[in-house]
Amino acid sequence: MNQHVPPARTGHSACPHDCPSTCALDIEISGNRIGRVRGSSANSYTAGVICAKVARYAERAHHPDRLTQPLRRTGPKGSGQFAPISWDDALDLIADRFTEAERRYGAESVWPYYYAGTMGLVMRDGINRLTHAKGYSRFFSSICVNPAWSGFLAGAGRLAGPDPREMAKSDLVVIWGTNPVSTQVNVMTHAVRARKERGARIAVVDVYRSPTMEQADIPILIRPGTDGALACAIMHVLFRDGLADRAYLGRYADDPAGLEAHLASRTPEWAEAITGLPAAEIEAFAHAIGRTPRTFIRAGYGFTRSRNGAVNMHAVTCIATVAGSWQHEGGGAFHTNGAIFGWRKSMIEGGDLLDRSVRQLDQSRIGAVLSGDPAALAGGPPVMAMLVQNTNPVSVAPEQELVKRGFAREDLFVAVHEQFMTETAKMADLVLPATMFVEHDDIYQGGGNQYVIFGPRLIDPPGECRSNHDLVCDLAWRLGADHPGFAMSAREHVDWLLRESGRGTLEELEAKRFIDVQPDFDTAHYVKGFNWPDGRFRLKAEWPKVPYAAPSKMGPVADMPSFPDHWAVTEEATEDFPFRLVTSPARSFLNSTFTETPGSLAREKRPELMIHPEDAATLGILAGQRVEVASPRGAVVLQARLFDGMRRGVVVAESIWPNAAHEGGRGINTLTGADSIAPVGGAAFHDNHVRLRALG
């Protein structure tokens, strides 16, 4: 073969995946193929570093199993039997089935369902324009951020904080309930820079010796769902030992005297009994925080995936207020930058068509919704037809047995738009091939940083793949949905968004590749006050008033403690279910993405259960043995891996493997529950009580 291969060039983009790092990428391109992917060194947050799974992206983009043509189901649901169909016929079929559902049961019987497979604003959120234009059931997004964001908002009143690059200027970086070595590698870049350049220490608070905790100077190993107790004891010590910044509190907080009195009984010994962390370690950690003005708390999502998660996030942010850390460069508490971008997204989302009287269905409760639970359906009609884009609920959603039963319903029509034949696609009536980020135009915003990045189409998509935007517009046309956004290209949407939001034009962004929208120091550090009318941080949370839009308050909101506390609503160990299971993310997967790539599969090997050797000995479980793990919701078989990096009684299964990678096709979310976390919903993926049984 003497084929001419054009010389490689470098394209620029953003990582589209659901990861707070939102890395700026330099991508080798030759012909119509991508080669190595590198982190941009021109971008000061990415700083030339990306994770290994995205560096190997060519194996995902050019995977032999990419979906390339529309497929129609020919066998029973879930059989995997499909035959090719033309795009025109596929779109006609969706339009027919949606129209029929609407005629028989009303527009609310159609439920467009999506999530963050791509974080591009046009490709991710455009489906809402169709929903609003047609009056379909609205999607209440809840699977990921709700407890974390509501917990942060309860104190600061705004979803923003110090520039995440300031971690490099900190003297104590506290990585709390996140595992950045696996889940957002750039946090480590900046934290390690602080250690190298300033001799800063890195503390890591987690429930297992994660890859991040392996690198910690101060490892803080606690029991799951006990972060509120730890935070209280830390603040108790700060007040007790004269390390609370009373001047700062007097000016910037609502009720420091009330908090101090409340914490009087939350001693290190009290917290030791709850967290499993020795009181002496709590004291030492509190002293480190209290004596280091530049303490930067980088709070993640992981520790909020418990039934008391919002309370725990609020408690952790209170530490930065009691210690006065916010006022120092390299200090404060950071979780996400959601509030700094100020987008006007109405052209993408069709916000002008939104009708608040249309019901909202809860993403995390999809099992109950599809099974016809009247409460989950908000008293309305059953869901009869769905378009699923950008997400894989038949692996990732909690209460998986119910989810699978729902998708198996004969009277439910499901179209799934995907890059691969995921477990959700396999259950569909119609599977439509989707482009990848290098094959379409979109705009991205940082979660854990402050950049806006443009990601252009760099190569042609394989076969007949269409982008999310194109599919939504094609369907709108057939369904008679009317909105100017359906007649615009993705590039026109990006340009409109930038102009209307006062962020320049697409042409300007393309020339610069990315723009830095970090607010000034005073804004980021709340020097002029926190985001409440009186400018005071709320040590005493008013949960029902937290400014987070939800169909209603969810979970036991009335019982939430106002002051930071250990809120004992987690699924505690019992005689029947004596262990606590956490389902932390696997390093080489991203949720269920990359479970199709050989490089990631080789590294993750097989679904395992990490169990403490002493617990294993008590139960007669040997390394490598099959173990049945059962929660009140179902049972799963995992292979035991003996690991002494947890408190006794805690087990960890790194996730999310496909259900099919497990015996009997039952994966980890068979065990997780879909009851809502207070105050605005979410799934408690890391809060499960389980029993273990050694299998032969």
Ligand X SMILES: Nc1nc2c(c(=O)[nH]1)N[C@H]1C(S)=C(S)[C@@H](COP(=O)(O)OP(=O)(O)OC[C@H]3O[C@@H](n4cnc5c(=O)[nH]c(N)nc54)[C@H](O)[C@@H]3O)O[C@H]1N2
Site for ligand X, rule CB under 6 A = 18-19, 115-118, 123, 143-144, 177-179, 182-184, 205-208, 210, 222, 224-225, 227, 300-303, 305-306, 389-392, 396, 417-420, 422, 434, 468, 582-587, 589-593, 655-656, 668-669, 672, 685-686
The contact pattern for ligand SF4, residues 571-600, with x = CB under 6 A and - = no contact, is -------------------x----------
CB distance 5 to 31 below 8 Å = yes
Name the minimum Å distance from CB 456 to ligand SF4.
Answer: 17
Structure tokens at 339: 């509030």
Q: Reading across the β-sheet that carries 442-445, which strands appear in turn?
A: 442-445, 451-455, 514-516
- CB-count burial class (<10 Å; 0-12, 13-18, 19+) for 268: buried
At 628, which helix (H) or strand (E)? strand 626-631
* Residue from 549, 538, 583 nearest 681 by CA: 549
Cα within 13 Å of Cα(572), Cβ side: 9
Q: Is there a contact between 652 and 581 (Cβ–Cβ < 8 Å)?
A: yes
Distance CA 262, CA 540 (A): 10
Q: Give the residue carrying structure tokens 């057939």.
A: 478
First to last CA, the chain: 54
Q: Which does 15 bind (CB under 5 to 8 A by kind): ligand X, ligand SF4, Mo ion, none?
A: ligand SF4
CA angle at residue 150 from 145 to 154, to 5 degrees? Answer: 155
User: Based on CB atoms, which residue is closest to ligand SF4, 25 or 315?
Assistant: 25
Window contacting ligand SF4 (CB under 6 A); options: 14-22, 214-222, 495-503, 674-682: 14-22
DSSP assignment letter at 589: -
Q: Cβ distance 188 to 212 under 8 Å?
A: yes
> Using the rule CB under 6 A, is 384 a contact of ligand SF4?
no
- Least separation in angstroms between CB 68 and ligand SF4: 24
Please identify, using beta-carbon distances, which residue of 17 and 440 lies nearer to ligand SF4: 17
Residue 22 binds ligand SF4 (CB under 6 A): yes
The minimum distance between CB 632 and ligand X, in angstroms, equals 16
The CB-of-522 to ligand X minimum distance in angstroms stands at 28
Which secondary-structure segment (H or E) carries 176? strand 172-176
562 binds, among ligand SF4, ligand X, Mo ion, none (CB under 5 to 8 A by kind): none
Q: How far is the CB of 6 from ligand X (least distance, A)?
A: 26
Q: Which does 44 bind (CB under 5 to 8 A by kind): ligand SF4, Mo ion, ligand X, none?
A: none
Nearer to ligand X, 121 or 253 (CB): 121
Least separation in angstroms between CB 97 and Mo ion:
30
- How far is residue 615's CA from residue 579's CA, in Å, rounded to a whole number? 10
Name the residue among 275, 263, 298, 278 with its Cα closest to residue 570: 275
Of 48 and 649, CB closest to ligand SF4? 48
Residue 144 in contact with Mo ion, rule: CB under 5 A = yes
Nearest partner of 59 among 534, 531, 602, judged by Cα: 602
- Choose the stretch contacting Mo ion; rule: CB under 5 A; options: 140-148, 209-217, 225-233, 262-270: 140-148
- Return the SS3 of 672: coil
Residue 591: CB minimum distance to Mo ion, A? 7
Question: Min. distance of Cβ 270 from ligand SF4 in angstroms?
Answer: 38
Q: Which of 19, 154, 396, 640 binds ligand SF4 (CB under 6 A)?
A: 19
Q: If you search the block for the tokens 């590698």, which residue do you land on? A: 185
- β-pairing, 172-176 vs 385-389, is unpaired
8 Å CB contact between 313 and 303: yes
Question: What minimum distance in Å lies between the beta carbon of 45 and ligand SF4?
Answer: 10
Site string for ligand SF4, 553-572 (x = CB under 6 A): --------------------
Q: Which residues 47-66 are close enough to bind ligand SF4 by CB under 6 A?
A: 50-51, 54
Strands 138-140 and 360-362, how do they pair? parallel
For the record, the structure tokens of 574 come out as 């019992």
With CB under 5 A as the contact rule, which of the stretches 89-97, 127-135, 144-152, 544-552 interacts with Mo ion? Answer: 144-152
Binding partner at 625 among ligand SF4, Mo ion, ligand X, none, C-beta below 5 to 8 Å by kind: none
Residues that bind Mo ion (CB under 5 A): 144
Residues that bind ligand SF4 (CB under 6 A): 15, 17, 19, 21-23, 50-51, 54, 184-185, 590
